[in-house]
Amino acid sequence: MKQFLILCVCVALSQCIRVPLIKGKTARQRLQEKGLWEEYRKENPYVPWIKFVQTGQESMTNDADLCYYGVISIGTPPQSFNILMDTGSSNLWVPSVYCSSQSCQGHNMFNPQQSSTFQSTNESISVQYGTGSMTGYMGYDTVTVGGIAVQNQIFGLSETEAPFMGTMTWDGIMGLAYQAISSDSATPVFDNMMSQNLVAEDVFSVYLSSNEQQGSMLLLGEIDPSYYTGSIYWIPLSSESYYQVTMDSITINGQVVACNGGCQAIVDTGTSFIIGPSSDVSNLNAYLGAQTDQYGDSVVSCNSIQSMPSVTFTLNGYAFSLPPSSFVSQGNSGCMTGFSGGDFGSSFSWILGDVFIRNWYTIFNRANNTVGLASLS
């Protein structure tokens, strides 16, 4: 009955905006298949905090394990792009036909001359990768997300892109975090959706499927009860920039192994792993029998998954436990945990990425600045 009512509301107001997320191959998998992974990793070490360095420029990542992306279109008539939906940044950008880099080839590229609604600006945009950068300029156009058109959306058109972007499945990024951290103070897509009254509620939610290629979903403007069971646990944001929350502790079998005395964490769909301070992550991995290899991966014996303990994250007094089956991944070259070390000079020290988010239906509530987590149905 409840679901029926919600469906009715959405149909009546045309405010169900759903973007199916495709679970594609990661850059790591693609490079491993070609035997190029180790060389690539040597040249492009993973530096998780590069994405969050506040230089006044847009943030970016060289995360080789991202796999979820959705399709949006820009312009009139629409030009389609595969997009990383990123709650850890706030800008929208796509490759453009003016991109002179090899890494843009093989990606969809926006041609502003083929859009009757495009308006150019003279504002430039620059994205730091750590191993290179993306540069370009800003324009305005109609951006269509889940069938709903957002008018006059500002976005970046790339003119150069670092080589590693060529290995990514997705073309560009749509940032879903707050305008406060947006490069050039560009209005994020979801902020325009709220101000243009395109969403029924000022919330969006994410379901990331672990196994299926299909089924993952970004729901803009709604919380769908069919995705979860039991209560939603609401966690107030400690900062409205990223989706930043206070974490009480990380425990194994009731023993604190990391985040002793509390720490700050962000919930970030645009980071694949769970990242924390190196010393904390070493300690956590030691409890799990994992060791950091020369490429920074936390390698563990695949045989030990059965006997490995769960890891519990306590947020706002609620305990969220991750079973080993959800944080150990099995690749061509063995098993590794989804816990990776990196020391930030930032207001937060932990990133709860897809390895965490996959375990819960995750709601980003802009109406009261909370994040909600609920058990998957």
Ligand X SMILES: *[C@@H]1O[C@H](CO)[C@@H](O)[C@H](O)[C@H]1NC(C)=O
CB nearer to ligand X: pick between 121 and 325 = 121
CB nearer to ligand X: pick between 121 and 330 = 121
Contact assessment for residue 199 and residue 17, using Cβ atoms and an 8 Å cutoff = yes
b/e burial code for range 174-209 (CB count within 10 A of at least 16 → b): bbbbbbebbbbebbbbbbbbbeeebbbebbbbbbbe
- Residue of 85, 294, 245 lying closest to 172 (CA atoms): 85
Q: List the alpha helices (DSSP H) in the chain.
A: 2-13, 27-33, 37-43, 189-195, 278-288, 324-327, 354-357
CA distances from 200 to 47, 107, 140, 176 (A): 38, 33, 24, 17
CB nearer to ligand X: pick between 271 and 370 = 370
Q: How far is CA 132 from the centre of its chain?
A: 20
Token pair of 322 as six digits: 């991750």
Contact assessment for residue 372 and residue 365, using Cβ atoms and an 8 Å cutoff = yes
Contact assessment for residue 67 and residue 23, using Cβ atoms and an 8 Å cutoff = yes
Return the bridge partners of 275, or none: 340, 351
What distance in Å separates the CA atoms of residue 162 and residue 171, rounded to the nearest whole number? 13
CB nearer to ligand X: pick between 10 and 22 = 10
Contact assessment for residue 157 and residue 98, using Cβ atoms and an 8 Å cutoff = yes
Residues designated as active site: 86, 268
What residue ranges bind ligand X (CB under 6 A)? 120-122, 234, 236, 365, 368, 370
CB nearer to ligand X: pick between 14 and 120 = 120
Question: Could you give the 3-state DSSP secondary structure of residue 353?
Answer: coil
- Least Cβ distance, residue 368 to ligand X (angstroms): 4
CB nearer to ligand X: pick between 201 and 343 = 201
Question: Could you give the 3-state DSSP secondary structure of residue 150?
Answer: strand
- Least Cβ distance, residue 193 to ligand X (angstroms): 18
- Least Cβ distance, residue 251 to ligand X (angstroms): 25
DSSP one-letter string for 104-128: GTTS--B-GGG-TT-EEEEEEEEEE
Is the alpha carbon torsion for 108, 109, 115, 117 positive or negative? positive
